[in-house]
């Protein structure tokens, strides 16, 4: 059978490998870390650096199609692979989303609304950034590259705090004005080889210290805003000539139909984990189907769901959760080290679909 290559060895890669196995594929996972959760379930594992051109070429030669589970795979590595084997989504989608400055510019060029922002690349940019901050009162300085799970972010409300945070990061940043949103939702969309886009129902996302804690479907958000968000995600996917599952995070503004794009994840997304239990075809299976050019499966939801991440020492409670709720669907990622805020597992709990009033 065919072999699907996956760059990245985290829990997302692990779920992709399981979904690929369900469809009869072999998987080859490429990761720079020896203890990668996805290695435990893949058919083959390649532990090598993303700058090792020989290993990259070898890996690509070995795979019939390649995808990735995290957007910070160096774009150069994806390009080397793409010379030999089709890579979906395109390297361009990773390159754009691994840099918040490029991502904001992409969104602005598409005419989509985001939080207000200014780019802070040099000390000279701090003058305009301080004026921007004075105008907005509170802001979040985000490092342009490599930030995730709220890492590389600082909340600032004075010029002094801004300067300290920028000096501390010592790298290009984006300063965003603090948005007073009503709630956060995301769109988990799948774009197939034919260009048609399907979107799951939007989960409502609740964070703890900037880290996703719970995703809840249905979201407490008017259907019009969910549809608006789904349409935006479809436009983003089309603009990227995308193939696969895509996550787009949104801020829902109070009243009206206004939504702001927070960020794009060109991959399966944590806020879509509930699709494994609450939908006939999960985000992972649909991603695999898309990258191999198979028909996209139904994104219909047969249950309401609450997905709770087990962050850091939360994971120690897994037995209590199973004792309390026989219907709780537990996932443990096989990570050995418990660190504060680290995603070590998650639990999905279903309930019958609530009747619309
Ligand atoms: P991840 O990639 O893990 O989702 P991240 O580190 O890229 O996270 P963001 O999504 O940018 O971080 O921000 C994390 C959370 O912080 C958001 O989901 C939101 O709750 C809050 N946040 C971020 N930017 C803003 C903003 N401009 N105004 C208000 N809240 C914000
Ligand atoms: Mg992010
Ligand atoms: Mg985010």
Sole residue written with tokens 């958000």: 221
CA distance 198 to 196: 7
CA distance 281 to 268: 13
What pLDDT, in 10s, does the model give residues 313-331? 999 999 999 999 999 999 9
pLDDT of res. 147: 84
Residue 223: alpha-carbon gap to chain centroid:
23
Distances (CA, A) of 95 to 71, 100, 187: 8, 10, 21
Tokens at residue 191, please?
Answer: 């774009």
Question: b/e string for 154-179 if b means 16 or more Cβ within 10 A?
Answer: bebeeeebbbebbeebeebbbbbbbb
Atom 13 of ligand 1: nearest residue by CA position: 150
CA distance 136 to 157: 9
CA distance 75 to 91: 6
Residue 189: alpha-carbon gap to chain centroid:
11
CA of 98 from ligand 2 middle (Å) equals 9
Ligand with the closest atom to the CA of 150: 1
Tokens at residue 92, please?
Answer: 């361009």
Q: Does any ligand 1 atom lie closer than 6 A to the CB of residue 125?
A: no
Question: b/e string for 107-117 if b means 16 or more Cβ within 10 A?
Answer: beeeebebbeb
pLDDT of res. 354: 79
Average pLDDT estimate for 137-166: 94
Atom 15 of ligand 1: nearest residue by CA position: 210
**Cα torsion angle, 80, 85, 38, 73, sign:** positive
CA angle 135, 140, 143 (to 5 degrees): 130
Atom 26 of ligand 1: nearest residue by CA position: 178
CA distance 29 to 22: 16
What pLDDT, in 10s, does the model give residues 103-138? 999 999 999 999 999 999 999 999 999 999 999 999
What pLDDT, in 10s, does the model give residues 65-105? 999 999 999 999 999 999 999 999 999 999 999 999 999 99
Give the chain's domains with CATH numbers.
Answer: 3-87 (3.40.50.20), 116-177 (3.30.1490.20), 183-352 (3.30.470.20)
User: How much of the chain exceeds pLDDT 70, in percent?
Assistant: 99
Above 60 in pLDDT, residue 348?
yes
Average pLDDT estimate for 202-218: 96
Above 90 in pLDDT, residue 151?
no
pLDDT of res. 227: 96
Q: Does any ligand 1 atom lie closer than 6 A to the CB of residue 155?
A: no
Average pLDDT estimate for 283-297: 98
Q: Does any ligand 1 atom lie closer than 6 A to the CB of residue 33?
A: no
ipTM score here?
Answer: 0.98
Q: Which residues pair with 87 in a beta bridge?
A: 66
Atom 16 of ligand 1: nearest residue by CA position: 210
pTM (global) more than 0.90: yes
User: How much of the chain exceeds pLDDT 90, in percent?
Assistant: 95
Above 80 in pLDDT, residue 257?
no
User: For a pocket test of ligand 1, which of 210, 263, 309 has the largest count of ligand atoms closer than 8 A to its C-beta?
Assistant: 210
């Amino acid at each position: 059978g065919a072999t699907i290559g996956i760059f990245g060895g985290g829990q997302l890669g692990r779920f992709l490998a399981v979904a690929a196995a369900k469809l009869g594929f072999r998987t080859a996972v490429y990761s720079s870390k020896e203890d990668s959760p996805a290695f435990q379930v893949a058919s083959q594992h390649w532990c090598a650096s993303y700058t090792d051109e020989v290993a990259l070429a070898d890996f690509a030669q070995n795979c019939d199609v390649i995808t990735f589970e995290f957007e910070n795979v160096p774009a150069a590595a994806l390009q080397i692979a793409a010379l030999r084997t089709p890579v979906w989504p395109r390297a361009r989608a990773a390159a754009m989303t691994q840099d918040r400055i490029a991502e904001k510019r992409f969104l602005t060029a598409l005419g989509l609304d985001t939080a207000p922002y200014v780019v802070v690349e040099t000390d000279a940019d701090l003058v305009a950034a301080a004026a921007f901050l004075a105008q907005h009162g509170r802001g979040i300085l985000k490092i342009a590259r490599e930030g995730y799970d709220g890492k590389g972010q600082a909340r600032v409300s004075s010029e002094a705090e801004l300067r300290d945070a920028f000096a501390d990061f010592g790298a290009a940043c984006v300063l965003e004005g603090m948005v007073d949103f009503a709630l956060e939702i995301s769109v988990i969309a799948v774009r197939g080889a034919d260009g048609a886009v399907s979107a799951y129902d939007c989960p409502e996302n609740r964070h703890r210290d900037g880290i996703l804690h719970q995703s809840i479907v249905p979201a407490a958000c008017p259907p019009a805003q969910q549809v608006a968000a789904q349409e935006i995600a479809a436009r983003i996917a089309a603009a990227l000539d995308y193939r696969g599952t895509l996550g787009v995070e949104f801020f829902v503004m109070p009243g009206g139909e206004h939504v702001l794009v927070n960020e794009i994840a060109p991959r399966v997304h944590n806020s879509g984990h509930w699709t494994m239990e609450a939908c006939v075809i999960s985000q992972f299976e649909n991603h695999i189907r898309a990258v191999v050019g198979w028909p996209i499966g139904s994104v219909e939801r047969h249950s309401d769901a609450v997905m709770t991440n087990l962050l850091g020492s939360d994971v120690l409670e897994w037995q209590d959760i199973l004792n309390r709720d026989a219907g709780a669907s537990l996932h443990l990622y096989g990570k050995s080290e418990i660190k504060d805020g680290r995603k070590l597992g998650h639990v999905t709990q279903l309930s019958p679909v609530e009747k619309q009033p």
